[in-house]
Each structure stands twice: as structure tokens, then as C-alpha cells.
Amino acid sequence: MFGLFGKKSSAVLGVDISSSSVKLLELSKQGDRYKVESYAVEPLPANAVVEKNITDVEAVGEVLKRVASKSRTGVKQVAVAVSGSAVITKLIQMDGGLNEFEMEDQITLEADQYIPYPLDEVAIDFEVQGPSETNPDQVDVLLAACRKENVDIREDALEIASLTTKIVDVEAYALERAYSLIEPQLDSQGEELVVAIVDVGATMTTLSVLAEGKTVYTREQIFGGKQLTEEIQRRYGLSLEEAGLAKKQGGLPDDYDSEVLTPFREAVVQQVARALQFFFGASQYNAVDYVVLAGGTASIQGLTEMVEEKTGTPTLVANPFADMAVGSRVNASSLSNDAPSLMIACGLAMRSFD
């Protein structure tokens, strides 16, 4: 029953299974400095993962096999994530004198108060957050529950690739962990920042807002880079695969920028502005200090400037590797290109050092 956050004992690979690709990352650490030991990205067949749900476990397993082989990693243990919408989290207070096993017993007895599913259908875990602000004798405990099928299907896919699931995390927490590497890049002088991370994936855009480094809001909406790929495909008569390659490598006709890319950039900016408006409407905040763009779409030329202009907020593209050393197995320029889409994989790989 317990094991959603996972208890770490040795190096784990961060593996992010998104709607369009599988991303794998291995980190090591010397002192305070991280090093990228290996990484790889492999596309997924269409509809193998739909809106973050694995629908074809065999296909995902085969891609996992390829991505592990391509990365040339020797590590077999993996940290993987489920999406925030698949997880129920609740902050509860418990007696500060209990040890971990006593807490586990008490949560098992009381879980049905907090979880609206039959307990035999959920994976559940908890993490002590620290002393309670309202009662010094109690501690705040973060309870997280997720349907077992979401965990099991990821384990099954990894097993096909001869990989072992060591940790199942939540995407929002992985992102929060990776954000700790972005924070030093912000021009903040130790202020208490409110930062919006907008992760524009292939089919989903996720807004995560962090206040003082902690997630205070997340929201997913259906919109992503696949719309640009499909428009390239439609306009220039290419297959989906050819369109995806052309989007990355260029070589499209002269009208591509004005007729296809500019309207898409405008659509992204609109999505970002809209997501922020939802956040302001649902919280006590009416501004953020920074917008950080993540996901494969973040690197589109000119997008940062357009978001900054529209939102009036300093905007940058996420690069969690800016201050990391890079191992001999890693192509540094590919890593730099893929950096914005590796935030979740990076946050998962950082679980090696908890």
C-alpha cells in the first residue's frame, strides 16, 4: 500500500513518460554540484499515451527499452511520475511523537476519511512536512493517493524494458525539485518569489505556481505543440513524423514563419495569459514575479519575448542544467536543446540524493 513517494537507497534514473516521448536522465553529484551522466529522448508512437494515461503498455515498454539502450546507462532503478490530476493530496496533522511505522498504522486505519476510493484500489503514501504552525505538538503530514492502476501500468511498462520501479513521484513535486536549480538564475536577491512555470507539452499545458519554492497551484489544460506539428503536416502535405522532424530541424518553405509559426506562437501566448488569469482568479495573488517556460515548445524562437510583452512579467526558458557538469556519454548541445522539456525527468533523477 505504501510506496507512492518511494524510499530511496541508491542512484535512480529519472524517467518522464509524456504524451509524445520518453525522456531518461541520470545524474551524479559531487559536493554541491550535479553532473549529467547520461540522457536520451525517444518519441512514442501516436496514442500510446493519451493525456498522460498509458494506453499501450507494450509500445511504451519497447520505447523504454530503446531509450535506456540509447543512453548507455548502467542504472536499472527508476523514479517515474504520475500526473497531478491522477493524484489526491491532503495535508493532515498528526502527533509529532509518532515514528514512521506508527504513522503508517494510523493512516491505514483512518485513510478512508481522506480518500474517496476503495482503499484496495489506491496506492497511498505520506511525507512529514515539518512542525504544524497551529500546534507545536503536531506535525504536518502530506498524504498522497493515486489509483493503483496508474502506478501498476508504469511498473509494467518499465518491466518490459528490464527496469525496476524504485520511486513513483508526482509530476508537480518533480517540477518543484527541478525548480530549485532554476531559482539561482533569477534576478531575485533572496526575495520571496512567486514563479509561474508553464510546461507546454505535446498535448497538455500545465501551469505550476511556486511561492517561496513550494507549489501553491497547478492546473492542466489541453493544448500543446502537437497543434503546430499537425498544422505543418496539413499545410505542407507531410506525414506526422516528417512534420515533427521539420519542426525541429527546419527546412520548411519561406511562408512557414509568417503563416504557421507566428499564429502558433500567438496561441501559446494566449494560453499562458489565460492560465495566469485562472490562477489570479482562484488565489489571493494578482501577479507573479517570473514566468518560466518549460516543455518542448518553450524553445520556439521569439516566444519568450512575446510572453514577456503580453504578461508584463520577466520570462525565461527553463534550463536546469545551466550549472551542471556534463559527462562524456552526453552530447552537450543536444542536452541544451532538450533542457526545457527535461524538467520533470531532472526532478525525478534528483531523487537519488534525497
- Concatenated DSSP letters for 20-44? SEEEEEEEEEETTEEEEEEEEEEEP
In whole angstroms, give the CA distance from residue 119 to residue 261: 48
Residues 244 and 340 placed together within one structural domain of the fold: no
Residues 157 and 94 placed together within one structural domain of the fold: yes
CA atoms within 13 A on the CB side of 184: 9
Residues 177 and 58 placed together within one structural domain of the fold: yes
72's torsion region: left (phi>0), alpha (psi -120 to 50) or beta?
A: left
Range of the domain at 165: 1-186+318-354
Q: What are the DSSP calls for 94-114, one per residue? A: EETT--HHHHHHHHHHHHHHH
pLDDT per residue rounded down to tens, the chain (354 residues): 455 555 545 789 999 999 899 999 999 999 999 999 999 999 999 899 998 899 999 999 999 999 999 999 999 999 999 988 888 888 899 999 999 999 999 988 888 888 888 888 888 888 898 999 899 899 999 888 998 999 999 999 999 999 999 999 999 999 999 999 999 999 876 678 999 999 999 999 999 999 999 999 999 999 999 999 999 999 999 998 899 889 888 889 999 999 999 999 999 999 999 999 999 999 999 999 999 999 989 989 899 999 999 999 999 999 999 999 999 999 999 999 999 999 999 999 999 998
pLDDT at 1: 47
Residues 135 and 218 placed together within one structural domain of the fold: no
Domain total of the chain: 2
C-alpha cell of residue 29: 553529484
What CATH code is carried by the domain that includes residue 178? 3.30.420.40
Position 290, amino acid: Y
pLDDT at 112: 83
Q: Are 140 and 91 in contact (CB under 8 A)?
A: yes
Residues 156 and 20 placed together within one structural domain of the fold: yes
Residues 3 and 53 placed together within one structural domain of the fold: yes
pLDDT at 158: 98
237's torsion region: left (phi>0), alpha (psi -120 to 50) or beta?
A: left
Residues 294 and 341 placed together within one structural domain of the fold: no
pLDDT at 13: 97
Residues 212 and 242 placed together within one structural domain of the fold: yes
Position 178, amino acid: A
Residues 61 and 39 placed together within one structural domain of the fold: yes
In whole angstroms, give the CA distance from residue 107 to residue 118: 14
Residues 28 and 89 placed together within one structural domain of the fold: yes
Q: How far is CA 49 from the centre of its chain?
A: 15
Pairing between strand 122-131 and 138-147?
antiparallel
Cα of first residue to Cα of last residue in the chain, in angstroms, is: 21
Global pTM reads 0.91
Residues 46 and 165 placed together within one structural domain of the fold: yes
Residues 148 and 208 placed together within one structural domain of the fold: no
Q: Where are the alpha helices (H) located in 136-259, listed in sequence order?
A: 148-160, 171-182, 226-236, 240-249, 256
Position 36, amino acid: V
